[in-house]
Amino acid sequence: MGQQISKSNGAAAVRAASPAPAASPTISNKVALGAGCYWGTEKYVQKNFQLRFPGSIKSTMVGFMSPDEHPRIKNPTYRDVCTGRSGHVEVLFVELNNPQKYFEELIRFFYCFHDPTTKNRQGNDTGFQYASYIFCGDEEQAAICEKVRNELQAFLDSNPRKSPYFNKQVTTKISPLMEFTKAEEYHQRYLEKNPSGYCNHRIRLKEWPSVDESKEDTEIATDEVTK
């Protein structure tokens, strides 16, 4: 018998996946995540992800990363990146504790709080700097990211009416980790210092979806904002 499903605004019932499998002991503990405005990305990783997995995050910094080896502007400022012409993405640079256990869970969660189907856009924020991007620390990370991205696309293909996203095609790019430029200090932990500050992220998936029809139903999609 399926689990009882509580009702929430805009929620959809789909099947939740099993916990992520462990990676190898040698997987890199460094990754950079682009999910729109990095203020919200940092808040959701530092606070919300660690509510699920306490002690999983060693450190975070917001800043900028380009997928190009020779970007148009080297060591850009926030204003440089805001023009959309520097070739950089706003990212959260993450160091994990125990990446063997937490890396895939982090990548799953990455897709739960932003919309990866809106190319170079998150909400009203538009431009390449707001692209959905994962900059990987090694080949094992890249393979896991490809797998997770494919899982999400399979879910969207098989459950189009249950999608919490705007479009139906995942646009997230996967790249090797490149040179990181730390943002100015007032951007670091911005929403921790300014709790009412701007944030257009929200929890869209309460749990990671499974395309396995044998799983029990549980509520995972929501339009509710998690404070």
- Sequence-ordered alpha helix ranges (H) in the chain: 38-43, 50-52, 78-82, 99-112, 139-158, 190-193
Residue 37 annotated to the active site = yes
What is the residue type of 189?
Answer: R
- Residue position matching structure tokens 């060693």: 58
What's the rounded Cα separation, in Å, for the pair 209 and 194? 33
Given a contact cutoff of 8 angstroms between Cβ atoms, the answer to whether 222 and 10 are in contact is yes
Are the CB atoms for 62 and 38 separated by under 8 Å?
A: yes
Query: Is-contact 189 134, C-beta < 8 A?
Result: no
In whole angstroms, what is the distance from residue 167 CA to residue 152 CA? 13
Out of 37, 112, 136, 199, pick the active-site residue: 37
SS3 of residue 194 by DSSP: coil
Cα–Cα distance for residue pair 145/189, rounded to 1 Å = 26
Q: Is 73 helix (H, G, I), strand (E, B) or coil?
A: coil
Instruction: Give the span between the Cα atoms of 112 and 224, in whole angstroms.
Output: 12
- Point out the residues that are catalytic: 37
